[in-house]
Amino acid sequence: MGIFQRNEGLLIVLSGPSGAGKGTVSALLRERMPELTYSVSATTRPPRKGEKEGVNYFFKTRAEFERMIAEDQLLEWAEYVGNYYGTPRRLVEERLSEGKDVLLEIEVQGARQVKKRFPQGVFIFLIPPSLEELRRRIEQRGTESEEVVLSRLKRAEEELKEMSHYDYVVVNDQVERACERLCSIIAAEHCRVDRLLSGKTVTWGE
C-alpha cells in the first residue's frame, strides 16, 4: 500500500521460562511467516541431537564467545546453567533497518538486555499452562541430568515474575493456538498508530 512509510521492521522478542516451548512455537511461526527473519543465536552449549551449526545455533567455544562479548558483537548475552547464549547484533540491525521484521527467541536474562537497547521491540512472554506441565516438559526433554532439571525449574519459577516487563503474554496450551496468537500480535503491532506515526511522514491521500 505504501500509505505509511515504514522505515524500520519490528523486533519481535519471544521469551519466557525454560520449558515454555519457545523453540517449538517459534519453529512453527517461522513456517507460517517465512518473511520473518529469524535471528540465530550463538552458544557455548554442546549441540543437541539433530541441531545444526548456523541453523539452530552458532556453536562457539568459551574463548570465542568471550571475544564476541569484548568486541560488542552481541545484542544480548547471558550465562545460563553454565553456558553462554547470545544474539549476534549485525544481522538483526541490518534487517530491521531494511524494514524487515526480526524474531529473537531468547532467554529471559537476554530479553532484559534487549529491552534496554530496543524499548520499541515487541516483547512476548510465552508461558506453559501450569507449573506441573512445565516440570513435565523439562523432564521429558530427557537430555539433562536431574540436577539440571531442578535448576531449570527453579529458574523458571523465578523467571515467571518477569511477566510484567513484557507487552504480551501468550499461554502455550497448544502450539498451533500459541502460534496463531503470535501471528495476531505481529499483525496488530503493524497497525499501531504510535508505530506508524513515530517520526514518519504520513503520505496518506496520494
Q: Which three cell numbers, joined as nine digits, stand for 37?
A: 527473519
How many other CB atoms sit within 10 Å of the CB of residue 48? 10
Query: Is 16 marked as binding a ligand?
Result: yes
Torsion angle, CA of 39/124/44/27, rounded to 10 degrees?
-60
Tell me which residues in 3-62 interact with a second copy (CB under 8 A).
Answer: 3
Q: Tell me how far, at minimum, the Cβ of 6 lies from a second copy, in Å.
A: 12
Query: Binding a second copy by CB under 8 A: which of 129, 143, 154, 176?
Result: 129
Q: At what angle do helices 131-141 and 146-159 cross, to 10 degrees?
A: 150
Residues of span 134-193 touching a second copy by CB under 8 A: 160, 163-164, 166-171, 173, 180-181, 183-185, 187-189, 191-193
The overall longest dimension of the chain from CA atoms, in Å, is: 63
Provide the angle, in degrees to the nearest 10, between the axes of the packed helices 22-32 and 175-189: 60
Q: Any binding-site annotation on 22? A: yes
Site size toward a second copy (CB under 8 A) is: 35
Q: Is 23 annotated as a binding residue?
A: yes
Question: Whole-number minimum distance, CB 136 to a second copy, in Å?
Answer: 13
Region for residue 92 given its phi and psi (left: phi exceeds 0; alpha: psi -120 to 50; beta: otherwise):
alpha
Taking alpha carbons only, the member of 7, 198, 11 closest to residue 102 is 11
Q: Is 50 annotated as a binding residue?
A: no
Calpha distance 125→159 (Å, rounded): 10
Nearest approach in angstroms of CB 80 to a second copy is: 22
Please report, as residue ranges, which positions from 59 to 78 form the binding site for a second copy (by CB under 8 A): none
Annotated binding residues for ATP: 16-23
**Residues in the site for a second copy, rule: CB under 8 A?**
1, 3, 124-125, 127, 129-131, 160, 163-164, 166-171, 173, 180-181, 183-185, 187-189, 191-193, 196-197, 202, 204-206
